[in-house]
Amino acid sequence: MLMLASLVTTQAAELPAGMQQFDAQMERVRKQFDVPGIAVAIVKDGQVVLERGYGVREIGKPAPVQADTLFAIASNTKAFTAASLSILADEGKLSLDDKVIDHLPWFRMSDPYVSGEMRVRDLLAHRSGLSLG
């Protein structure tokens, strides 16, 4: 794994065959989904072992995507949030039936009863009554 971390700044010609195949696959995926650019990071045990960019930031402009290029991902954050909460539940760090206020003490709805009874599961299932986002 440490070897992969050093590959982040290595030139393509110096990459081992596995990394060249990975790069080629990322380019195929980028083209298949017709996107100008993507950034990829692989994290293992809390450590970044690989981060790379592919393609360009904007169609018709030469600026390449880099590992730290920011993207507007809009509603994709909902899937990330659900996956993250599911991982925390699997690890026993929270339950989807926990009250939101137990984890976010500042959380408030307009009705104090709802604030105290809202469950994590309710937020994930869009049963909160929140209309934005």
Report pLDDT digits (tens) over 30-82: 999 999 999 999 888 989 988 999 999 999 999 999 988 998 888 899 999 99
Is residue 95 part of the annotated active site? The answer reads no
Confidence (pLDDT) at 16: 63
Buried b (16+ CB within 10 A) or exposed e, 7-41: beeeeeeeeeeebeebeeebeeebeeeeeebbbbe
DSSP lists the bridge partners of residue 55 as: 37
Let me know: does 79 contact 62? Beta carbons within 8 Å: no
Both tokens of residue 27? 């380019």
Let me know: does 13 contact 55? Beta carbons within 8 Å: no
Buried b (16+ CB within 10 A) or exposed e, 108-124: ebeeeeeeeebbbebbe
Confidence (pLDDT) at 100: 97
Indicate yes or no: pTM above 0.85.
no
Local structure of 91: helix, strand or coil: coil
**Predicted confidence (pLDDT) at residue 2 exceeds the cutoff of 50:** no
Backbone angles phi, psi at 34, to 5 degrees: 55, 50
C-alpha 117/C-alpha 94 separation (Å) is 16
Catalytic member of 6, 75, 110, 128: 75
pLDDT in tens, 73-113: 888 999 999 999 999 999 999 999 999 999 999 999 999 99
Confidence (pLDDT) at 9: 42
